[in-house]
Copies of this chain bind each other. A is one copy, B any other.
Amino acid sequence: MTKILVVDDDRVLADVIAFTLRREGYQILLSHDGETALQCWEQELPDIIVLDIGLPKIDGFEVCRHVRAHANTPIILLTVRDEEDDIIHGLDLGADDYITKPFSPRQLVARVRAVLRRASQSLNEPWQQVGNLRLDSSRRELSIDDARTFTLTSLENRLLGYLMLNANRVMTIDALIDHVWGPARGDRDMLRQLIHRLRSKIEPDPSNPIYIETVPGLGYGLIAEPDIDD
């Protein structure tokens, strides 16, 4: 059974979350501060963590960083709305998604499912399809519309695979760097170059990209169904 670690110092909210997720058939582990959360994580190795940022003592960022240093356990952050910096920081640290409080049970369940699905998808299967892009990761081949096909380099393949896995979401620069080169390698210059090379390989008009969009100051995203006339 899928185990979910829920971490929130607001006990009422934590109970609500636990109740919601239990009803969906998940097994719930509860923590109310960062320290016990880390202990619990280490002992139980849950399949996913739902993590509030504002925790006493060890805060959510610390927990996130610590977990990411040791494993890939998916993490969903709980943040207050309009704290954009928290969200970006969290995603930079490797969180997989976030939910802004207040949220509905349905939203929560949907996110948990989506993140779990992405996590399981990332492993197995050799190819994935998004819009008219089909990426064969094992052979590093990209076909567009079953017509043109390109051979990608290893880095290009990793970047595009990650973008496709998170299609239509904007990935922060640091998150991309971490996923392509691993933590604490790679820098922004390298990512810029990589994006540039990937674009000039796959975009019909590389200076007016339709697949890979830039969100200045934030990062990049893959557009699933691009308008032709963009």
Contacts and interface: CB of A to CB of B under 8 A. Distances in A.
A165 B81 contact: yes
Interface stretch (A6-14, A134-142, A184-192, A198-206): A134-142
Interface string A169-201: 110000000010000000000000000000000
Copy number in the complex reads: 2
Interface in A58-76: 68-72
Interface of A is mostly: mixed
A140 B69 CA distance: 17
Given A126-B100, A128-B71, A84 B218 contact: no
A82 interface: yes
A130 B126 CA distance: 21
Interface stretch (A31-39, A49-57, A107-115): A107-115
A165 B82 contact: yes
A124 interface: yes
Given A84-B161, A88-B24, A117-B68, A224 B94 contact: no
B94 A123 contact: no
A27 interface: no
Residue of A110, A124, A179 with most chain B CB atoms under a 10 A cut-off? A124
Interface string A115-129: 011000111111111
Nearest to A215: B139
B94 A169 contact: no
B110 A124 contact: yes
B110 A123 contact: yes
Contacts of A170: 138-139
15 contacts: A25-B92, A69-B121, A69-B125, A70-B129, A71-B128, A71-B130, A72-B167, A81-B165, A82-B161, A84-B137, A93-B117, A94-B117, A100-B126, A111-B124, A140-B218
